[in-house]
Amino acid sequence: MQEFLQYFFSGITNGAIYAVIAVGFSMLYNSTELINFAHGEFVMLGALGLVTFWSVFKLPLPIAFILTVICVSGAGLLFERFAIRTVSKPQPIVLVIITVGASIFLRGIAMSVWGKDAKGLPPFSDHSPLEIAKATLLPQSLWILGISFLAVFGLYLFYQKTLTGKAMQACAINRRAAWLTGIPYQKMISLAFLMSTGMGAVAGIIIAPITLCSYDMGTMLGLKGFCAAMLGGLGSLWGALLGGFLLGILEAMGTGFFYSGLKDAIAFILLLLILYIRPGGILGAKDAKRF
Amino acid sequence: MSARKSNMVWGLAALMMISGLLFSSTGHAAETYKIGGIFSVTGASSFLGDPEKKSLEMVIEDINAKGGIDGRKLEAVIYDTEDDPTKSVMHVNKLISKDQVVAIIGPSTTPTTLAIIPSIEKEKVPLISCAAGNAITNPIKPYVFKTAQSDILAAACVYGFMKKQNIQKVGILTVANAFGESGKEQLLKQAEKFGIQVVQSESFGDKDTDMTAQLTKLRKAEPQAIICWGTNPGPAVIAKNVKQLNLNIPLYQSHGVASPKFIELAGDAAEGIYLPTGKPLVANLLPDSDPQKKVLMEYIKSYDAKYKIPVSGFGGYAYDAMQILAKALVGTNGDKQKIRDNLEKITGHVGVSGTFNFSKDDHEGLSPDAFVMVQIKNKTWELAK
């Protein structure tokens, strides 16, 4: 029981991070039908941005948090404006390859700005680990869970309660019809990039204290996030959340009850199975392209 | 007649000029020995490759200042593998066919070294690797040598120390790449010899962010110590996780993290960790009776003077490799076969990483005394007793 609980804690911590990354993938796909393979790099920028603002400039944590998100989503906006929008024939394959190129570019930039070495950060709060039924739960895990739920819930409110959010949904459902009703389509795409990369930054920020931040940390995280988004159903907000947690927990259980060498294999086999049985993902219905 | 004569004079002059050109050009080409260097100067293993590159350049400068080898200067051609096996192979092929080097030093890691061995063996160019993996020189490949202490010696050093501490049951946690697999193999193979039982063996990915699941599983098997075998940053995350889980089991790390960077990354979680390391890291703590002390102090002094940054300990692999190669180059006129033969004959070479005794059956040349066990205390190293 103690072991099971410990695996579960480990799983939900990683799962929450995968979920936030998956949400970023998912919402961008929803608005633009684009898979941004540079998304993992924005996660990395979030983590390294926090290193700079919090541990180098010594700003208070909330300010460093907000500044990092602003800077990274600003970078996302620039990325959309100069790399995506300027493409003359925006076929999906061309755009996907551009995002792959952007990820290599961002990694190179990060390497020259932050150097090649990994960097560590202290946890957000100094509390000692909690003991629940002899399993330990890190305070940082609670931060991760809290912030990721807050972020996803905030996004849900944005889509349900604000005019802009509804306009964005309209664009997702039918681009042309939305345009005809006077919704500025281009602005909505920019906004989607801004928010998606902002979510990436949040994921990077909350993960920074439990792991080590380096310029090449984003690729694997991006891949796992993509996996989670596919698992839950690409384009679905709750699906992304579910996919993230499912992936995290299964990885931890796989490590605990099978063999740690098979950890990644278990996750990817599961993905294959789900794609085979339900190609749209667990929560992804065929026609419902909305949150 | 006179016209013919003058023609002949012109002809002779032309001949002399051509032959002069030929001679001077061959003479010029023979002036330098080109030494290839491939290191992970950037990428995840830059902590290995960067000091190695600097050390190699330092030794070559030093040898050239003393007049070179057999009157010929050395010239380094260095490429960055970026820790990528594919790029390593590309660079090795370039070194061999385009740069025409007489020998190659590097790469920095076991996966990159294993990737280039087929090219090395095919082209018959002597290679002195700076990586530690046992698979590099076992089985023996005629043209492949190495200077980094292998996992066999590191594992023997750790187990020898554990035996003195009366530890009989260990859990091992290794990184899922060539370094970790090779370490795991040695740990499992040698355990019995030291009367130690491996009760649980787990692995982790080198980009993983959290290893509490593996550690929980290890805890269940109730080992008296945990041995983690990997290179940064994974082992630093594990050190943190061990503290977070309140494991209260001594943690041993491998020589793969024996650098100040590990202490910096793991922070307070590094306190009390045991690990085997080459002697450069603790040179000033060594007793004067240690044969390596003099060589070490000299290396550290010149490295400090040239680069103004502290020695990392890994640069020594390239330092030794170049010193050994310099010995082997003498009298070969750049003949690769002869260099290889000479390398096999080098014995009693006191280097930074240990005393090298190469032979036909040993292309590693070191013995377990190349390692010492250290413990991290107050953010620095202490010789473990």
Write the pLDDT tens digit of every residue in B252-302: 999 888 888 888 888 888 999 999 988 888 888 888 888 899 999 999 999
Mean predicted confidence (pLDDT) in A151-161: 91
Instruction: Report the residue from B202, B210, B217 with minimal CB separation from A13.
Output: B210
Mean pLDDT of A53-74: 93
Q: Which of A112, A255, A258 to mutate to test the interface with B (most CBs of B within 10 A)?
A: A255
Q: What is the rounded CA–CA span in Å between residue A140 and residue A288?
A: 36
Q: What is the CATH number of domain B32-150+292-367?
A: 3.40.50.2300
Alpha-carbon span B205 to A254, nearest angstrom: 14
Overall size of chain B counted in residues: 385
Distance CA A4, CA A1 (A): 5
Domain boundaries, chain A: 2-115+149-277
- Answer whether A6 sits within 8 Å of B216, measured CB to CB: yes
Do B142 and B340 meet the contact criterion of CB atoms below 8 Å apart?
A: yes
Q: For residues B351 and B255, what is the distance between their CA atoms, to the nearest angstrom?
A: 18
**Nearest of B261, B263, B258 to residue B317 by alpha carbon:** B258
What is the nearest CA distance from B23 to chain A, expressed in angstroms? 47
pLDDT of residue B28: 46
Average pLDDT over residues A177-198: 90
CATH code of the region A2-115+149-277: 1.10.3470
What pLDDT sits at residue A268?
Answer: 78
Residues from chain A that touch B209, judged by Cβ atoms under 8 A, are 14, 17, 207, 210-211, 221
Q: Which residues contact B50 (CB under 8 A, 6 or more apart)?
A: A116, B39, B41
Residue type at A200? G
Look up residue B73 and give its amino acid: K
pLDDT in tens, A240-250: 999 999 999 98
Residue A44, number of CB atoms within 10 A of its CB: 32
Q: Which residue, B202, B247, B238, is CA-closest to A129?
A: B247
Q: What are the distances in angstroms from CA B235 to CA A141, B152, B278?
A: 20, 20, 18
Distance from CA of B364 to the nearest CA of A (A): 30
Q: Taking the domain B152-278+371-383, which CATH number applies?
A: 3.40.50.2300
Contact B257, B230 (CB under 8 A): yes
DSSP B67-127: T-BTTBEEEEEEEE-TT-HHHHHHHHHHHHHTS--SEEE--SSHHHHHHHHHHHHHHT--E
- Alpha-carbon distance of B366 to B110, in angstroms, equals 17
- Yes or no, beta carbons of A263 and B205 under 8 Å apart: yes
Task: Confirm if B254 and B154 have CB atoms less than 8 A apart.
Answer: yes
How far does CA A133 lie from the centroid of its chain?
Answer: 31
Contact present, B234 and B259 (Cβ < 8 Å): no
A277 pLDDT more than 90 = no
Using the beta-carbon criterion (under 8 Å), do B233 and A111 form an inter-chain contact?
no
Which residues belong to CATH 3.40.50.2300 in chain B?
32-150+292-367, 152-278+371-383
What is the three-state SS of B319-369?
HHHHHHHHHHHCCCCCCHHHHHHHHHHCCCEECCCCEECCECCECCCCCHH
In the block, residue with structure tokens 């740069």: B99
Write the burial class of residue B2 (CB in 10 Å: 0-12 exposed, 13-18 middle, 19+ buried): exposed
pLDDT, tens digit (0-9, with 9 covering 90-100), for A79-104: 999 988 888 887 888 888 999 999 99
The shortest C-alpha distance from B375 to chain A (Å) reads: 21
Q: Write down the residue that tokens 């794609």 correspond to.
A: A275
Contact state of B233 with A13 under an 8 Å Cβ cutoff: no
How close, in Å, is residue A239 to chain B by CA atoms? 23
Looking at beta carbons, which residues of chain A come within 8 Å of B267? Answer: 120, 122
What does the pLDDT read at residue B24?
47
Average pLDDT over residues A46-54: 94
Question: Could you give the ipTM of this predicted complex?
Answer: 0.74
Q: Phi and psi dihedrals of B41, rounded to 5? A: -65, -35
Q: Is the dihedral of CA A184, A188, A190, A194 positive or negative?
A: positive
Residue A34 has pLDDT above 50, yes or no: yes
Alpha carbon A186 to its chain's center = 23
Q: Considering only CB atoms, which residues of chain A are within 8 Å of chain B?
A: 3, 6-7, 9-11, 13-14, 17, 111, 116-120, 122, 129, 135-136, 138, 207, 210-212, 214, 216-217, 219-221, 251-252, 255-256, 259-261, 263-264
How many A-B residue pairs are in contact by the CB < 8 A criterion?
92
Contact residues on chain A for B233, CB-CB shorter than 8 A = 118, 211-212, 214
Task: Out of A7, A212, A251, name the one closest to residue B265 (CB).
Answer: A212
Among B43, B176, B233, select the one facing A212 at the smallest CB separation: B233
Contact A120 B207 (CB under 8 A): no
Residue A33 CB coordination number (10 Å): 14
Calculate how close chain A gets to B176, using CA atoms only, in Å: 7
Return d(Cα A285, Cα B3) in angstroms, integer.
100
Least CA distance to B232: which residue of chain A?
A118
Give the residue ranges of DSSP H helices in A33-138.
Answer: 39-50, 61-79, 92-114
Contacts of A205 (CB under 8 A, 6+ apart): A46, A47, A49, A50, A65, A68, A69
| pLDDT tens for each residue of A218-276 | 988 998 899 899 888 888 888 899 999 999 998 888 888 887 777 778 777 877 888 78
In terms of DSSP bridges, do strands B32-39 and B73-80 run parallel, antiparallel, or are they unpaired? Answer: parallel
Q: Work out the minimum CA distance from A98 to partner chain B, whole angstroms.
A: 23
Side chain identity, residue B324:
I
The pLDDT tens digits along chain B (385 residues) read 455 656 666 665 555 555 554 444 444 445 789 999 999 998 878 888 999 999 999 999 999 999 889 889 999 999 999 889 999 999 999 999 999 999 999 899 888 999 999 999 999 999 999 998 788 888 899 999 999 888 888 899 999 999 999 999 999 999 988 788 888 999 999 999 999 999 999 999 877 888 888 898 898 899 999 999 998 788 999 998 898 888 889 999 998 888 888 888 888 889 999 999 888 888 888 888 888 999 999 999 999 899 988 887 788 999 999 999 999 999 898 899 999 999 999 999 999 888 999 999 999 999 888 889 999 999 888 998 7
CB-closest option in A10, A207, A217 to B213: A10
